[in-house]
Amino acid sequence: MEQKVQLLDKRFKVMIPAEELDKAVAKVAEKLNKEYASSPKPPIFVGVLSGAYMFLADLVRKTTFDNEVTFVQISSYEGTQSTGVVKRKLGIDFDVEGRDLIIVEDIVETGHSIKHLLDYLRSLNPRSVEVCTLFFKPEKYLYDMPIKYCALEIGNEFIVGYGLDYDQIGRNLKDVYVLDND
């Protein structure tokens, strides 16, 4: 495991090693396995591109129930800061009425993106919609919508790796890194 990396103009250090991430993903998968084992139709994982792709892939491999996978793309980030404006670039292009949907996010901070996505998906009349996130920043969260499945809670640090990026760089890192201000 490389302890520090340089991405563009910033230096980062390891915050969460890959082994710890794997354990957190397995724990969330177990909860999902219990909850969705008896769903009348296979639940649909709705992966939020681009950041959630690694988490979603590992999560789905750890599930034991039949499921489907699709993707949406939304964006609210530029550099290390959220713009507060959510843009949806790709959406659901098939019928999800009466189906269980599980939104899979890389990170939930303010909740603007999740609120936007929940409103959109609920308008499609699913049986249920829940949120599953790798990281949750409760101190920054502005809504009272519950985040039912959370792998790890973190503070307000800016992180990269395991799908999360800094200006599109660093998604390929197997560990999660935090800005190194030392």
State the total domains in the chain: 1
Q: Is residue 4 part of a domain?
A: no
Residue 138 belongs to domain with CATH number: 3.40.50.2020
> Is 7 contained in some domain?
no
Say if 144 falls within a structural domain.
Answer: yes
Model pTM greater than 0.75? yes
55 within some domain: yes
Report the alpha-carbon distance of residue 46 to residue 71 in Å, rounded. Answer: 5
Q: What is the DSSP string of 29-48?
A: HHHHHHHHTT-SS--EEEEE
> Domain range for residue 152?
18-33+41-164
Given the structure tokens 């039949």, which residue do they identify? 66
Q: What is the pLDDT along the chain (182 residues), one digit of tens a residue?
A: 569 999 999 999 999 999 999 999 999 999 999 999 999 999 999 999 888 999 999 999 999 999 999 999 876 555 545 556 656 566 677 789 999 999 999 999 999 889 989 998 999 999 999 999 999 999 999 999 999 999 999 999 999 999 999 999 999 999 999 999 87
